[in-house]
Amino acid sequence: MKKASNLWKEKTALLELKGVCYSYPDGTEALNNIDLTIYRGEKVAVIGPNGAGKTTLLKILDGLVLPTKGVAKIFGMPLNKKILNSKKMYNVRKRLGFVFQDPDVELFSATVWDDIAFGPLHLNLSHKEIDKRVEETLKLLNIENLKDKHPYNLSGGEKRKAAIAAVLSVDPEVLLLDEPTADLDPRSKAEVIDIINELNKTGKTIVTATQDMDIVPELADRVYVLNKELMAEGTPKEIFSDIEMLKRNNLEVPEVMKLFEVLKCFGYDYTRLPLSINEAIKVLTETIETEGGHIHLHIHEHTHEEIKKLKGKYNHHS
């Protein structure tokens, strides 16, 4: 497996997996020999195709299931059957927040307010403190207008934000997000990405499992590529530079990268290849400022050949 840089080696490890394997009751293997560490304050993405084991990995990190083999540690505490049913685990769970891929799993009350209050109610807090937490969470996610609505009547984006709010009201240190932008329209996706990044700025550790490559550069400082085994680890730039590894695991690079490589075929000479929309805006703005307000594109004798090579690089049909 390709190793990451030592960017986080001096950080505090919050979640650790050592030699972790997991098989379903019918014997089907989901994870094999996983070594993974999540450090305080970082943003990590776990990417992989369908069936790669991403959700199972998050469940192990959350203490919902035990590994079939290997060691899983949460805040330094090794998990076992005895620990899972102890008061220690109850206290640990308050520090973790799992946002499931399907928001309907977490939204089951009569109103959004009730769903957000559900977690704090089980922390034995005062009614005043519960009301405060719910109000603060509604405001943080800008969904005050949803508080009296039944979750059934919410849009996909509203449900996603309400589900995140239901977890945030417990004020966890670590957020585990399973496909947080799945089935969202572009505007809702951008809003959820902004919310997640703002939460990280407040000190929360974020782990995002996704197969949406376009969101990875915006939601991760570090990336694990999972396909039952860990296939690679690195920064988004390192991961998306390894085209062959991505192909072997049925993954692609962000669409922005492809666009700029097409532009290069037409003579646009950028100094760095952007991975996200925000990076693309910076690169284009810099070009415009240094080129008198213009971006020059042209077709030369090698353009068609370069386009053909680019299509082959990403395994597209001509």
pLDDT for the residue numbered 70: 96
- Bridge partners of 78, per DSSP, are 73
d(CA 177, CA 144): 22
Q: What is the mean pLDDT of the chain?
A: 87
Per-residue pLDDT reduced to its tens digit, 15-29: 999 999 999 989 899
Percent of the chain with pLDDT over 90: 59
Higher pLDDT, 256 or 65: 65
pLDDT tens-digit series, residues 228-257 = 999 999 999 999 989 889 989 999 988 887
Strand order in the sheet with 43-47: 96-99, 174-178, 205-210, 43-47, 222-227, 229-234
Whether residue 127 contacts residue 188, with contact meaning beta carbons closer than 8 Å, is answered with no
CB-based contact 101:164 (threshold 8 Å): no
Task: Please give the structure tokens belonging to residue 52.
Answer: 């790669």
Round to whole Å and give the CA distance between 56 and 65: 8
Residue 125 pLDDT exceeds 90: no
Whose structure tokens read 């998990």? 79
How many angstroms separate the CA atoms of 312 and 220, rounded? 28
Consecutive H or E run containing 278: helix 277-290
Q: Report the interhelical angle of 156-168 vs 112-121 (nearest 10°).
A: 20
Query: Does the structure show a pLDDT above 60 at 1?
Result: no
Q: Write the pLDDT tens digit of every residue in 177-229.
A: 999 998 888 888 888 899 999 999 999 999 999 999 999 999 999 999 999 99
Strand-pair category, 69-74 with 13-23 = antiparallel
Amino acid at 37: T
The whole model's pTM is what? 0.84
Domains of the chain: 13-248 (3.40.50.300), 255-313 (no CATH)
pLDDT over 60 (residue 316): no
For residue 156, name the pLDDT band (cuts at 50, 70, 90): confident
Hey, is 63 helix, strand or coil?
coil
In this prediction, residue 231 carries a pLDDT of 97
* Angle ∠(146,152,155) on CA atoms, nearest 5: 60
The pLDDT value given to residue 227: 97
